[in-house]
Amino acid sequence: MEILLAKNAGFCFGVKNAMEKALKASEEEKNVKTLGPIIHNPDAVRLLEEKGVCSLNSVEDVGEDDTIIIRSHGIGKGEYEILKSKAMKVIDATCPYVKNIHNIVEKNFKNGYKIVIIGDSEHPEVKGINGWCDNEAIIIKDIDGVVEDNFKNQRVCVVSQTTFNAKKWHEIACKIIALTKEALIINTICSATEIRQKETEDISKKVDLMIVIGGKNSSNTRKLYEISKENCNNVMLIENANELNIEKIKQFNKIGITAGASTPQFVIEEVMNNLVSISNEDKITNDVFEKNKL
Ligand code: F3S
C-alpha cells in the first residue's frame, strides 16, 4: 500500500496562531472563554475544554471577569466594541489576513463604495466582515446571486471569504465587472486555502482512495472533499481515526491523505499511524508533523 500525504495538510498559520494563543491563555489567565468554537474541529475544541476553556455563543454571555479570545474568523466592529466594554481582557486572535479584509471594507465603505462579499452569508468570517460596513454588504455565494438591479450604476468594492473557491470567485467577479459602473475587486482568498486545494487536486488524481480529514462543519474541509470527489471515485471524509473503515481501506493500493486548515496535527498523526499499521511501510514521514506540531 502506498500512501501520499499532502505536504500542507492541517493547520494554517492563522488557526495555529489562534490555538497557541488559547492554550497559552489557559495556563496564564482565569475564566478563559472563546467567542464561538475556536475552530471548526471537535477534537481541538475538546482539547481546550479539558484545559478549562469553554465557548460562548454571543457577546451577550460575556461576564466582567472573563478573558475572551476572538477566534481566527474575526468579529464585527459592533461586537468588538461590546466585548471591550464587558470583558476583563480581550485576546484578539483574528487572523491577520482576515483583519486586512476588515480594514479594506471599513475604509471603502466610508468612501462611499457598496461592499460586496463573495462568500457564504452563514459563515462566521463573512458575518464578521459584514460587521465592518454596518451589516449592509451584498453577500453572494454563486453566479446566480449576481442580480443586475443590485449592481447597475453602482460603485462597488468586492472582497471574498478567505476560504472561497478560486474558480467560482473568478466567475462571479467577472460578472460583477460587466454590470457595474466602477468595481474595486480585491482577491482576498487566502493562499493557504489555494495551496491546500491545489495539492488535494493533484493527489486525488493519482490515487485509488482519497481520505479527507477534518470537522464536518468546517467549510474548507468540505471544499477539499468536493475537489477530491471531482478527481477520484473513492473519497472518505472522516473527523478522526475512530471513523476509519479499515476493512474497506485494505482494498486499495494507493491512498491519498489531506486535511482541512482546522485539523490538528495530532488527529492527522493518529490517522497516519493507523494506516501505517495496515500497510507494508515501516513509517511514513512528512515535514507536516514537524512543522505544525501542537
Ligand atoms: Fe488565516 Fe488563511 Fe488560515 S486567512 S485563518 S491563514 S486559511
- Residue-by-residue DSSP string for 235-281: EEEESSGGG--HHHHTT-SEEEEEE-TT--HHHHHHHHHHHHHHSS-
In this prediction, residue 90 carries a pLDDT of: 97
| Closest ligand 1 atom number to CA of residue 193 | 7
- In angstroms, the CA 225 to CA 204 distance is 10
Is the CB of residue 210 less than 8 Å from the CB of residue 234?
Answer: yes
Say how many domains are in the chain. 3
Ligand 1 mean position, distance from CA 243 (Å): 27
Pair (201, 286) in one structural domain: yes
Beta bridge partners of 56: 35
Structural domain range at position 91: 13-95
Pair (175, 198) in one structural domain: no
Pair (108, 178) in one structural domain: yes
Pair (75, 130) in one structural domain: no
Residue 132 in contact with ligand 1 by CB distance below 6 A: no
Residue 192 in contact with ligand 1 by CB distance below 6 A: yes
Ligand 1 mean position, distance from CA 128 (Å): 14
Beta bridge partners of 294: none
Pair (108, 120) in one structural domain: yes
In this prediction, residue 283 carries a pLDDT of: 47
pTM above 0.90, yes or no: no
**Strand pairing report for 114-118 and 138-140:** parallel
Domain boundary among 155, 185, 215: 185
Query: What's the ipTM?
Result: 0.99
Name the grid cell of 78: 459592533
In this prediction, residue 1 carries a pLDDT of: 82
- In angstroms, the CA 278 to CA 77 distance is 51
CATH (domain of 272): 3.40.1010.20
Domain boundary among 160, 185, 210: 185
Pair (196, 261) in one structural domain: yes
Q: Show binding-site residues.
A: 12, 40, 73, 95, 123, 162, 190, 218-220, 262
What per-residue string of b and e applies to 133-150 under the rule 16 or more CB within 10 Å gives b? beeebbbbbeeeebeeeb
Pair (225, 285) in one structural domain: yes
Residue 160 in contact with ligand 1 by CB distance below 6 A: no
| Closest ligand 1 atom number to CA of residue 96 | 1
Residue 124 in contact with ligand 1 by CB distance below 6 A: no
Pair (78, 113) in one structural domain: no
One pLDDT digit (tens) per residue for the chain, 294 residues? 888 999 999 999 999 999 999 999 999 999 999 999 988 888 889 999 999 999 999 999 999 999 999 999 999 999 999 999 999 999 999 999 999 999 999 999 999 999 999 999 999 999 999 999 999 999 999 999 999 999 988 999 999 999 888 889 999 999 999 999 899 999 999 999 889 999 999 999 999 999 999 998 888 899 899 999 999 999 999 999 999 999 999 999 999 999 999 899 999 999 998 988 887 654 454 544 334 444
| Closest ligand 1 atom number to CA of residue 12 | 3
Tell me the per-residue pLDDT of 145-200, one tens digit each, with 9 for 90 and over. Answer: 999 999 988 999 999 999 888 889 999 999 999 999 899 999 999 999 889 999 99
- In angstroms, the CA 228 to CA 236 distance is 9
Taking Cα atoms as reference points, which of 270, 202, 271 lies closest to residue 236? Answer: 271
Segment (H or E) for 110:
helix 96-110
Sign of CA dihedral 100, 104, 105, 106: positive
In this prediction, residue 284 carries a pLDDT of: 52
Ligand 1 mean position, distance from CA 37 (Å): 16
Q: Show binding-site residues for [4Fe-4S] cluster.
A: 12, 95, 190
- Which residues are known to be catalytic? 125
Domain boundary among 38, 60, 95: 95
Pair (202, 287) in one structural domain: yes
As to burial, measured by CB atoms within 10 angstroms (0-12 exposed, 13-18 middle, 19+ buried), residue 211 is buried
Residue 261 in contact with ligand 1 by CB distance below 6 A: yes
Cell 478560486, residue?
166
Beta bridge partners of 92: 70
Q: Is 293 left (phi over 0), alpha (psi -120 to 50) or beta?
A: beta
- Residue-by-residue DSSP string for 151-189: HTT-EEEEEE-TT--HHHHHHHHHHHHHH-SEEEE----
| Cβ-based neighbour number of residue 177 at 10 Å | 14
Please name the residue whose Cα sits nearest to atom 5 of ligand 1: 14
In this prediction, residue 280 carries a pLDDT of: 63
CATH (domain of 22): 3.40.50.11270
Residue 129 in contact with ligand 1 by CB distance below 6 A: no
Residue 98 in contact with ligand 1 by CB distance below 6 A: yes
In this prediction, residue 289 carries a pLDDT of: 39
Q: Show binding-site residues for isopentenyl diphosphate.
A: 40, 73, 123, 218-220, 262
Cα angle for residues 116, 120, 121 (degrees, 5° grid) = 70
Pair (279, 201) in one structural domain: yes
- For a ligand 1 pocket test, name from 70, 97, 103 the mutation site with the most ligand atoms within 8 angstroms of its C-beta: 97
- In angstroms, the CA 132 to CA 22 distance is 25
